[in-house]
């Protein structure tokens, strides 16, 4: 594999409690706005109002703290998502169990969605709670073209602000105006558990949602067992335009989605499956990455990890047309090397076809992980999450879990072009043994065969130039062989 980027700088922030970051966005001044939760009232934190508070942190371009705010009440609050607003301020979304302190209007139950508008200095301009008498947890907020906001997460209420619940948890979508007044809401799902985990506005004014789903009815079609990735395209008023379910018989949960340059989508998350749409699982839970076209059809998938637990939380297209994915790993084998002990943050780079190009474990001998990922202005990467000890890659920890921001350098592949090489078949048509030679200089890492309808009928990860295809039906197929920055394609006929 290619050489992974190096750490250029890092910053740890927190106090003697547990302090986590869950989302970060670049700001117009070249810095960053970061949100999460905190139980500390010392160190870098002030004014904690009891239990866990929403924690908002403004950093400059090199990760130096400019200001921070603790927001909440006497119960627990967490901020999951942040976005810039047109007036230079910020909008945050998360969950609250309070009805005091900074929080008003709680509907009861365990949690409500909590949406807070801040000015450029982090002072509250307004706040809104949305929910019913049960539990609501917001995962993502985005500004919309009309000046309002869209919030996505999960609800198991069917009263208050919530209507149309199908049973258990539904993905719950809330649309507000510029001052947080509710315009419309949608409950999407079936009688199982359905929760929106990632959500983005699309160029047509609609939305793309990545949710976990265990339902086989209601709005959900095609679940393959346990939890699946449920990818849903919505129009501007939250109506379903299309949907796709992907997974296997194990648990599969999406956590992040991005729109790609070709109008499709790249989706990251976790899988415990070894069947259905999933191939190449390394054991227990792996990162699972799907590339979809603009209609949500699967183009390719890859599982990344080792024999322990990997959980992906952030994914981004990279400057060379590939993808960067970040999260947590507890493995010391498979595709994972360099683990410092316990769980590390794990960053992996894929090329445009999902082939692993490099990977990097960052952390200490205690528990560390990454929850969000950004492309930096210099084509490097910013990862944000938490650390739990000051050793290994971690230079400072103030007690418990600290928020940890890490700047990685530009990688050596950022200017690499994707080269289409040639593949020569030894025989065509072929009855049983398919053999070939390639012009590329790098070892083959993946072989895929698709039929004339574009369906993948065979896929394996190894360096080979021979395949037994006796099990395939007669017809035309496409052989694809992948190596680092190389793709080789040939048509053949099975007779």
pLDDT tens-digit map of 77-95: 999 999 999 999 999 999 9
Q: How far apart are CA 384 and CA 406, in angstroms?
A: 6
Q: What is the pTM of this model?
A: 0.83
What pLDDT, on a 0 to 100 scale, did the predictor assign at position 455? Answer: 66
What pLDDT, on a 0 to 100 scale, did the predictor assign at position 417? Answer: 41
**pLDDT tens figures, 117-159:** 999 999 999 999 999 999 999 999 999 999 999 999 999 999 9
Q: How far apart are CA 326 and CA 385, in angstroms?
A: 10
Q: How far apart are CA 383 and CA 370, in angstroms?
A: 6
Checking if the pLDDT of 98 tops 60, the result is: yes
Return the structure tokens found at 376.
Answer: 């930096």
**Can you list the domains of the chain with their CATH numbers?**
7-408 (2.130.10.10), 419-494 (2.60.40.10)
Work out whether strand 419-421 and strand 486-494 pair parallel, antiparallel, or are unpaired: parallel
**pLDDT tens figures, 273-285:** 999 999 999 989 9
**pLDDT tens figures, 177-190:** 999 999 999 999 99
Q: How far apart are CA 425 and CA 445, in angstroms?
A: 18
Return the structure tokens found at 97.
Answer: 């169990």
Q: Which of 60, 115, 106 is nearest to 82 (CA)?
A: 115
Residue by residue, DSSP assigns 39-106 as --SSTT-----SSSEEEEEEE-TTS-EEEEEEE--SS-EEEEEEEE-TTS-EEEEEEE--SSTT----
Q: How far apart are CA 473 and CA 336, in angstroms?
A: 37
CB-based contact 113:151 (threshold 8 Å): yes
pLDDT band (50, 70, 90) for residue 441: low
Q: How far apart are CA 97 and CA 77, in angstroms?
A: 7
Q: How far apart are CA 357 and CA 287, in angstroms?
A: 15
**pLDDT tens figures, 53-81:** 999 999 999 999 999 999 999 999 999 99
Checking if the pLDDT of 256 tops 60, the result is: yes
- Which region, left, alpha or beta, applies to residue 359 given φ > 0 means left and ψ of -120 to 50 means alpha? beta
**Residues 454-463: contacts with CB under 8 Å, at least 24 apart:** 456/298, 456/300, 459/279, 459/280, 460/279, 461/280
Q: How far apart are CA 96 and CA 466, in angstroms?
A: 58
| CA dihedral sign of residues 103, 109, 111, 116 | negative
């Amino acid at each position: 594999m290619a050489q992974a980027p190096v750490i250029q700088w890092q910053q740890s922030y927190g106090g003697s409690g547990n302090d986590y970051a869950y989302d970060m966005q670049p700001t117009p001044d070249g810095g960053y706005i970061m949100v999460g939760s905190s139980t500390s009232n010392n160190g870098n934190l002030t004014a904690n109002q009891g239990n866990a508070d929403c924690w908002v942190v403004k950093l400059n371009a090199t990760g130096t703290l400019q200001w921070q705010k603790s927001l909440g009440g006497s119960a627990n609050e967490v901020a999951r998502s942040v976005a810039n607003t047109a007036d230079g301020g910020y909008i945050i979304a998360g969950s609250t169990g309070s009805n005091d302190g900074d929080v008003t209007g709680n509907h009861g139950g365990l949690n409500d969605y909590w949406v807070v508008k801040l000015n450029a200095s982090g002072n509250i301009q307004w706040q809104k709670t949305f929910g019913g008498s049960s539990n609501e947890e917001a995962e993502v907020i985005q500004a919309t073209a009309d000046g309002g906001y869209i919030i996505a997460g999960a609800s198991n209420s069917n009263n208050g602000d919530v209507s149309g619940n199908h049973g258990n948890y539904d993905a719950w979508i809330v649309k507000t105006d510029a001052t947080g007044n509710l315009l419309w809401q949608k409950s999407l799902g079936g009688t199982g558990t359905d929760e929106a985990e990632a959500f983005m506005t699309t160029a047509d004014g609609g939305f793309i949602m990545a949710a976990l789903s265990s339902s086989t009815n209601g709005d959900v079609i095609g679940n393959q067992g346990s939890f699946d990735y449920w990818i849903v395209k919505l129009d501007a008023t939250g109506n379903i335009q299309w949907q796709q379910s992907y997974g296997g018989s194990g648990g599969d949960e999406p956590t992040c989605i991005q729109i790609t340059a070709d109008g499709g989508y790249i989706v990251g998350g976790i899988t415990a499956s070894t069947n259905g749409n999933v191939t190449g699982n390394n054991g227990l839970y792996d990162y699972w990455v799907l590339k979809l076209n603009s209609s949500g059809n699967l183009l390719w998938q890859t599982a990344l990890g080792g024999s322990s637990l990997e959980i992906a939380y952030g994914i981004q297209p990279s400057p060379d047309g590939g993808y960067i994915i970040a999260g947590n790993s507890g493995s010391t084998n498979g595709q994972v090397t360099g683990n410092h002990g316990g769980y590390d943050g794990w960053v992996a780079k894929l090329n445009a076809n999902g082939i692993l190009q490099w990977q990097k474990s960052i952390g200490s001998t205690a528990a560390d992980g990454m929850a969000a990922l950004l492309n930096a202005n210099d084509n490097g990467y910013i990862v944000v999450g938490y650390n739990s000890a000051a050793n290994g890659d971690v230079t400072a920890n103030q007690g418990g879990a600290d928020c940890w921001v890490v700047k990685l350098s530009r990688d050596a592949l950022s200017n690499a072009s994707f080269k289409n090489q040639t593949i020569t078949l030894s025989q065509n048509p072929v009855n049983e043994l398919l053999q070939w030679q390639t012009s590329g200089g790098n070892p083959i890492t993946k072989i895929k065969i698709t039929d004339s309808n574009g369906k993948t009928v065979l896929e394996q990860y190894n360096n080979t130039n021979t395949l037994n295809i006796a099990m395939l039906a007669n017809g035309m197929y496409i052989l694809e062989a992948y190596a680092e920055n190389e793709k080789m394609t040939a048509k053949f006929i099975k007779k």
